[in-house]
Amino acid sequence: MNWNVVYTRPCWEKKVSKLLDIKGIENYCPMQKKVRQWSDRKKIIYDPLFKSYVFVRIDQKQRNELFNTDGVLKLVQFEGRAAVLTEEEIIQVKTFVEAYKDISVQQIDFEIADTVRIKSGPFNDKTGKVIQIKKNTVKILLPTLGFTLVAEIEKQQLEKLATA
């Protein structure tokens, strides 16, 4: 069975995860450890890494149970079908959460022909046009020195420039 992504009510991620545990539905809600400062004390809290998302592994029989759970709104859709993650992807998220502190989730949307600026690396501050988008990288056309260079660059190293 693959993993699906459930969209929850805002701030219900932990509650939904506990309710699914009670129902015997396998789920994963990645948490990030944070220290919050109040005027008189510090407290360690655990915030969900993905706001309004819980990952679930269900079969067809458990679908009704899932949707009869308070706080569950729908399955997240991607290209018209339920978004699916593999076991390997879930393990990667778990490993990432365990290995790093102060994690943030950011969505960067690039489209073909967008003009972007490279924020780091050997082409720092160079601009180019997006010609192909992959899962974690973007191919960029970099016109320099009278040649056309094509570089495959990780998305987090790019900044989308405003269109004129």
Of the candidates 136, 108, 89, 84, the residue with the CA atom closest to the CA atom of residue 117: 108
Q: What pLDDT, on a 0 to 100 scale, did the predictor assign at position 148? A: 60
Q: In this predicted model, what pLDDT tens digit does every residue of 119-148 receive, in sequence order?
A: 887 778 888 888 877 777 777 777 654 456
Per DSSP, what are the bridge partners of residue 81? 78
**CB half-sphere exposure, 91, CA atoms < 13 A:** 4
Report CA-CA distances (Å) from 4 to 70, 71, 136, 142: 17, 16, 20, 38
118 touches 124 (CB < 8 A): yes
Instruction: Please name the residues in contact with 24: beta carbons below 8 A apart, sequence gap of 6 or more.
Output: none
| pTM of the predicted model as reported, rounded to 2 decimal places | 0.65
pLDDT digits (tens, 9 = 90+) for 44-73: 989 998 899 999 999 888 999 999 999 999
DSSP 3-state of 140 = strand
Full set of structural domains in the chain with CATH: 3-99 (3.30.70.940), 115-160 (2.30.30.30)
Q: Give one word for 5, left, alpha or beta, with left for phi > 0 and alpha for psi -120 to 50.
A: beta
Give phi and psi for 96, each to the nearest 5. Answer: -60, -45
For residue 123, the model assigns a pLDDT of 73
The percentage of residues in the chain with a pLDDT greater than 90, rounded to a whole number, is: 34
Kindly give, in sequence order, each residue whose CB lies less than 8 Å from that of residue 99, ignoring residues fewer than 6 positions away.
none
Whether residue 6 is predicted with pLDDT greater than 90 in this model: the reply is: yes
Number of residues in the chain: 164
